[in-house]
Structure 1
Amino acid sequence: MPDSKPSWFQIFKSVAASAFGVQSDKNRQQDFAHHSALPFLLVGVLFVVLFVVSLILLVNSLV
């Protein structure tokens, strides 16, 4: 299955799991088996930006 491209949902799920430290070894190996890291990098950057913005909005709403 390493030759098939992962869906955007699979990429997001993998990025979210690894961001919170719960990525399984099997999934990590599948992620590294793909030829291009670009989709994972793009989704990862977007995930971090959205996470930081949501934290800022949450803190500002509590103040």
Structure 2
Amino acid sequence: MKDEQKIIKPSFWQVCKSVLSAAVGVQSEKNREKDFQAASVWPFLIGGIIFTAAFVIGLIVLVKTVT
């Protein structure tokens, strides 16, 4: 197997960075390729769900605080 095609396990911070980049809509091609080489999609899925829930809860708290 080539070094470029090795399956990697992303770290917690790599998953956080990828999820935030996806939320904003900007990510380098190099990082995107690294994400797609990950062993499993679950860390990214769970990170995305947690981020989305935190974002929605944050918006609800912000709106209730302002009004």
- The aligned runs of 1:1-63 (5 Å cut-off) are 2-63=6-67
Counterpart Cα distance in 2 of 1:35 and 1:3: 5
Gaps of 5+ in 1: none
Q: How many residues align?
A: 63
Superposition TM-score, scaled by structure 1 size: 0.89
Superposition TM-score, scaled by structure 2 size: 0.84
Gaps of 5+ in 2: none
Q: CA RMSD in A?
A: 1.3
Aligned-residue identity in percent: 46
Report which of the two structures shows the higher radius of gyration computed on alpha carbons.
2
